[in-house]
Amino acid sequence: MKRTYTILLCLCFFALQNATAQDAKMKTHIDGLLKKMTVGEKIGQLNLVVSGWVPTGTTVSQDTEEKITSGKVGGMFGYYDPVRMKAIQQIAVEKSRLKIPLFFGLDVIHGHRTIFPIPLGMSATWDMALVEKSARIAAQEATAEGLNWTFSPMVDIARDPRWGRISEGGGEDPYLGSQIARALVHGYQGDDLSKNNSLMACVKHYALYGGAEAGRDYNTVDMSRSSMYNYYLPPYKAAVEAGVGSVMTSFNVVDEVPATANRWLMTDLLRNQWGFKGFVVTDYTAINEMTSHGLGDLQTVSALALKAGVDMDMVGEGFLTTLKKSLDEKKITMADIDLACRRILEAKWKMGLFDDPYRRLDPSRPAKEIMTPENRKAAREIASHSFVLLKNDNQILPLAKAGKTVAFVGPFADNHRDMLGTWVIGGEWEKSVSVMEGVKNVAPQLATLFAKGSNITDDTAFIHRLNFFGQKMVTLDAISPETLLRNALETAARADAIVAVLGESQSMSGESSSRTDIGIPDSQRKLLEELVKTGKPVVLVLFTGRPLTLEWEQQHCAAILNVWAPGTEAGNAIADVLFGDVNPSGKLTATFPRSVGQIPLYYNHKPTGRPYNGSYQTKFSSNYLDSPNEELYPFGYGIGYSPFVYEEMKLSSAKLSGNGSLTASIKVSNTGKYAGEEVVQLYIGDPVASISRPVKELKGFQKIILKAGESKLVTFNITTNDLKFYDNSLKYDWEAGEFRISIGGNSRDVKVGTVVWEKNLKP
């Protein structure tokens, strides 16, 4: 024991010594470089240009090659082609005066070529090993195609499903969001940023981007500091603690100041308090957009951004075109420019680019590493674990693989394009597996029928907006809606059961895709109503990038399987679950409201002084005249093919002090006939404190596997760290008193116990 300890200590010592030696070497190199650089070349390193792929803003970079040659570019994003990128890197390291290599970035968000579920779906796995695996595979594929930097993870907490970008994050909870942030950063960056298959991560959008008022993208945010610290900031902080190499600013204001010019955010908090050592890049033209925020002209806002702690300017070239003037006019200093430039160069050093600028530009890699059978296998496994079964009356699911005739109806049943979801720049929808193909693969003996039934939407103006990235993303069928419907009903008449495959198309969620009506589009809803009228059981397989309002569907469908946008292996993964090869185990990470009128609706809300008592007819209590307060499906919710029964929870003590620790245990049994996985969730409530605290907060979870009939005792260890929160003076501590400990399979249905935790228990 003692010997192992000594060996460990020695290893740590040598690792530390090696790191210090590396740091010293890096410093010498960069000091030398900075001495040689002109002001223009330094400012050039702060410039990020876009090329190739369709951009996410209205401005695009011009004269890129000339700019690289003259040292006016620090990085580029948009390509994922090692041959072309090698040629571009050659310009930087052979033609530019100081031969400084470029970053090559891209939005690799939920897979690069092999596409995994959208991040909201991925979060529903509650499985950090799977989340990390998806990022590792994405990094392997992305680096094989020349990339060294991804604009991911997006960890914006979101409580408003109208916001299209809720699809890109891990939902509404800071604890879960922080775990996901860590897993993704580790997955992308690996254990050493300089390795050929390591991809530098960029946590975004710092900060509070998910708090956009009215769920409208790019809209303003207004929030108290304690809300920021307790609910919205933890996932960014977790990414920083996990060693994320870069941070992206957000488009919104934070405390009235745009994030991109917010020195408190970028320097005081991020660097001085959290100890972030990497570099900060803006979001797309975020510096230029500060003129519309009313902060001044381009020169002013560029200087403000640099002073606040921004190091790299994405696309807008405010830095490139104005910083020299600001320096001459003494609005900024040489030290400001040097600092930003040093941070960019340090990142390039850590990524091994000075050693070998071509290290991820090996054109022989893609053929061996892209979309391998193993990667597709992982995509199938991860997707099937992200699906959330919302309802399953009379155990209609899983379906038998033979013996009955099943009609698959809906515009997503025989569809490849919408399998992948938002942010799939490298993803090829032609290579995705449709639902019909998956069903044939998994249940080849089954008698199946297919009918499209409806357009995704009949609204041509809506279609026009959905087709921003390509004219054929959503189309109107040549057959009239009436005939589509009639054909579907004729098909359904010949079947024993109906699987309706409906929902949102790829472009209905994601950036700049907010919706005020978050129901299934009318054309599809009408189809569903007609299918239900046949009296045959209807299973709804739902594609969505956000929580939808599904009250009618909940009342009328026999089963609802929410599959998000599952990625390349969509059809296979869906069939695995529909036919019971995989027992669904996903749990929601964002609350599903009954109606848009209830938004924002989230589980970790504060109590009110006039609490809702379960009846919405009560006067002078916090409720609606026309709707219950309750959500349709709570955070953490999801069922499987076997029920999991929770016995009463046992707490190790009813009263404890200071540094003591508590265990909460609960016996969970699988009382059904299928083996399955269950996410056992621990929540803590702090009913009396110096500020009003949420009714409950997630503080732990365990994913367990139980065979049919098996039981397990699940134990959580709780310490005072789990009780801490930021008060109004932003002191992070716990306060003595009573705590409500809850455990359950979702945030609503829990077993509760109480414990009194004193600072120092009197004898």
Helices (H), 506-614: 522-533, 551-556, 570-578
Instruction: Kindly tell me which residue out of 41, 107, 311, 504 binds ligand BGC, with binding defined by CB under 6 A.
Output: 107
Nearer to ligand BGC, 209 or 564 (CB): 209
Q: What is the CA radius of gyration of the chain?
A: 27
Contact at 8 Å (CB) between 163 and 376? no
Say whether residue 204 binds ligand BGC (CB under 6 A).
yes
CA distance 7 to 195: 26
Distance CA 298, CA 321 (A): 9
Sheet with 447-451, strands from edge to edge, namely 388-392, 559-562, 538-543, 497-503, 405-409, 447-451
Please name the amino acid found at residue 462. Answer: F
Query: Which CB sits closer to ligand BGC, 152 or 681?
Result: 152
C-alpha 594: how far from chain center: 23
Of 79, 149, 151, 450, the one binding ligand BGC (CB under 6 A) is: 151
- CA 505, CA 485: separation in Å to the nearest integer? 19
Both tokens of 78, joined, read: 């948009």
Closest separation in Å from C-beta 53 to ligand BGC: 8
- Shortest CB 209 distance to ligand BGC, Å: 8
Question: How many beta carbons lie within 10 A of that of residue 482, not counting itself?
Answer: 8
CB atoms within 10 A of CB 58: 7
Q: Which two tokens stand for residue 248?
A: 């992206």
Site string for ligand BGC, 452-491 (x = CB under 6 A): ----------------------------------------
For the question of residue 283 being annotated catalytic, the response is yes
Nearer to ligand BGC, 57 or 519 (CB): 57
DSSP 233: S
Q: Which of residues 216-275 bind ligand BGC (CB under 6 A)?
A: none
Closest CA to 342 of 96, 90, 28: 28
CB of residue 289 to ligand BGC, shortest distance in Å: 11
The answer to the question of residue 386 lying near ligand BGC (CB under 6 A) is no
Residue 389 near residue 75 (C-beta atoms within 8 A): no
Identity of the amino acid at 336: D
Which one among 41, 283, 458, 504 touches ligand BGC, defined by CB under 6 A? 283
Residue with tokens 């004269």: 63
Distance of CA 729 to the CA centre of its chain: 30
CA distance 272 to 274: 6
* Cβ nearer to ligand BGC, comparing 201 with 446: 201
User: Which neighbouring-strand residues pair with 646?
Assistant: 668
Angle between helices 128-144 and 373-386 (to 10 degrees): 140
From the list 283, 313, 458, 686, the catalytic residue is 283
Which CB atom, from 286 or from 388, has the smaller least distance to ligand BGC?
A: 286
Of the two residues 58 and 62, which places its CB atom closer to ligand BGC in the complex?
58
Q: What is the maximum span of the chain, computed from C-alpha positions, in angstroms? A: 82
**Residues sharing a CB contact under 8 Å with residue 221, sequence separation 6 or more, in sequence order:** 208, 209, 211, 212, 213, 252, 253, 254
Write down the residue that tokens 């029920």 correspond to. Answer: 643
For position 56 contacting ligand BGC by CB under 6 A, the verdict is yes
Grouping H, G, I as helix, E, B as strand and the rest as coil, residue 106 is strand
Subset of residues 703 to 732 that bind ligand BGC, contact rule: CB under 6 A: none
Please name the amino acid found at residue 433. V
Distance CA 263, CA 408 (A): 55
Distance in angstroms (rounded) separating the CA atoms of residues 117 and 133: 13
What size, in residues, is the chain? 763
Among residues 232, 284, 319, 683, the one that binds ligand BGC under rule CB under 6 A:
284
Say whether the peptide bond before residue 207 is cis (omega within 30 degrees of 0).
yes
Distance CA 154, CA 250 (A): 11
Can you give the three-state secondary structure of 480-500, one letter per residue? CHHHHHHHHHHHHHCCCEEEE
Element holding 667 (H helix, E strand): strand 662-670
Q: What CA–CA distances, in Å, run from 763 to 420, 655, 657, 754, 758?
A: 61, 12, 11, 21, 12
Q: How many residues bind ligand BGC (CB under 6 A)?
A: 8
Residues whose CB falls within 8 Å of the CB of residue 501, separated by 6 or more in sequence, listed in order: 408, 409, 410, 411, 412, 413, 415, 435, 541, 543
Chain residues 593-632 in contact with ligand BGC, contact rule CB under 6 A = none
Taking each helix axis from N to C end, the angle separating 334-350 and 318-328, rounded to the nearest 10 degrees, works out to: 140
- The residue (of 49 and 409) whose beta carbon lies closer to ligand BGC is 49
- Tell how strand 447-451 and strand 405-409 pair up: parallel
Nearer to ligand BGC, 209 or 579 (CB): 209
- The set of catalytic residues is 283
Question: What residue ranges bind ligand BGC (CB under 6 A)?
Answer: 56-57, 107, 151, 204, 283-284, 511
